[in-house]
Chain A
Amino acid sequence: MSVDRRDSWSLYGKSFTSRLLIGSALYPSPQVMCEAILASGAEIITVGLRRQSPEQGGGEAFWQQIKSLGKTLLPNTAGCHTVKEAVTLAQMSRELFETDWLKLEVVGDDYNLQPDPIATIEAAQQLSKMGFKVFPYCTDDLVVCQRLRDAGCEVLMPWGSPIGTGRGLMNPYNLQTIRERLPSLPLIVDAGIGKPSHAVQAMELGYDGILLNTAVAQASQPVTMAEAFRDALSAGRKAYRAGAMPARQTASPSTPTLGMPFWHQ
């Protein structure tokens, strides 16, 4: 069976070719940010909202740079600790970025930035009713993911490991279970990806996409690393679609044993 070379996917009815979603923070300079985003091939960029004084230009320079890239924006609610904060920030974000797409983050623990599953579900319920297209950042807990789906989320973003750690997939079993139990829902591993090999692993598990920021922005050469992730996602996705062989417990020769020389009965 051949693999269809066109492999687009869709999120809330919008079709994309790239399976990488990339953050806009932590780059050494705005220019490197733009170059890295373009090199990654990503079509979706995450952005935030913060207090800005008029003296700082009110974020206008950044906003113009991001707009010039012509990508789809996914604003986040990073740093929110309550449902109320997340809902208010979402409303502000919708007005300013002119999109109802939202990366929902409700932090439950400041030490490892672990999402609060209960508040995230409640916020997702409210925001979905308000017309938001919610991309919830959540832990790799199957039941939490099911509840988020029930809350109206048409895509889920379980973590690989805590934000900014670069530790990769802490619990591949959990991620695989979510994939198997929610086979038709777009799933994106968000957070914790540190190296392209982590992204390959997630894509081989059947995840539909990867959202990352620090791994590219904090690499010694962000633009080259962005290219590496672009290629990694492509390789991992192709491998998933091609169907990997099952792992075996014992060795099995590749070369035929029939006609083996130097063997006499």
Chain B
Amino acid sequence: MIAVSVNNQQKLCDKQKSLAALLQEWGFESGKVAVAVNGDFVPRSRYGEHRLRDGDQLDVLAPVQGG
């Protein structure tokens, strides 16, 4: 297991699992969020192959009101 930060919340996860699987496990719908890992954008097309590392910091963003 590894520990990662998801939107500033600590989560333990299986390092063998893909980002796609983890997002689903955490309740995010992949078509409705955008993801950055350690400040770098990860395109949706790479969720299936992307593996997280211990200490990774994820930003999972969704549309909000803006000015």
Are A and B associated in one complex? yes
For B59, what are the chain A residues with a Cβ–Cβ distance below 8 Å?
A: 51, 92
CB distance from B32 to the nearest CB of A (A): 5
B40 within 8 Å of A (CB atoms): yes
A125 within 8 Å of B (CB atoms): no
Complex formed: what's the CA distance from A89 to B28 in Å? Answer: 18
User: Which residues of A in the span 44-95 have a Cβ within 8 Å of any Cβ on B?
Assistant: 46-55, 58-60, 62-63, 66, 75-76, 78, 84-85, 88-89, 91-93, 95
B1 within 8 Å of A (CB atoms): no
**B66 adjacent to A46 (CB under 8 Å):** yes
For B39, what are the chain A residues with a Cβ–Cβ distance below 8 Å?
A: 84-85, 88
For B2, what are the chain A residues with a Cβ–Cβ distance below 8 Å?
A: none
**B32 adjacent to A48 (CB under 8 Å):** no
> Which chain B residue shows the least CB distance to A75?
B66
User: Which residues of B in the span 25-57 have a Cβ within 8 Å of any Cβ on A?
Assistant: 26-29, 32-36, 39-41, 43-44
For A46, what are the chain B residues with a Cβ–Cβ distance below 8 Å?
A: 66-67
For A51, what are the chain B residues with a Cβ–Cβ distance below 8 Å?
A: 7-8, 59-62
> Which chain A residue shows the least CB distance to B40?
A88
CB distance from B41 to the nearest CB of A (A): 4
> Which chain B residue shows the least CB distance to A64?
B63
**A52 adjacent to B66 (CB under 8 Å):** no
Q: Count residues on chain B whose CB falls below 8 Å from chain A CBs.
A: 25
User: Which residues of A in the span 78-127 have a Cβ within 8 Å of any Cβ on B?
Assistant: 78, 84-85, 88-89, 91-93, 95-97
For A47, what are the chain B residues with a Cβ–Cβ distance below 8 Å?
A: 63-66
For A85, what are the chain B residues with a Cβ–Cβ distance below 8 Å?
A: 39
CB distance from A169 to the nearest CB of B (A): 18
For B36, what are the chain A residues with a Cβ–Cβ distance below 8 Å?
A: 88, 92
- Give me the interface of A with B, judged by CB distance under 8 Å: 23-27, 33, 46-55, 58-60, 62-63, 66, 75-76, 78, 84-85, 88-89, 91-93, 95-97, 163, 213-214
Known: A88-B36, A91-B34, A92-B59. 13 other contacts (CB 8 A): A23-B66, A49-B66, A50-B62, A51-B62, A52-B7, A53-B7, A54-B26, A58-B29, A58-B62, A59-B63, A78-B66, A95-B41, A96-B61
- Give me the interface of B with A, judged by CB distance under 8 Å: 7-8, 26-29, 32-36, 39-41, 43-44, 59-67
> 10 closest pairs, A vs B, by CB?
A48-B66, A54-B27, A59-B62, A23-B67, A92-B34, A213-B67, A25-B65, A91-B41, A52-B62, A51-B7
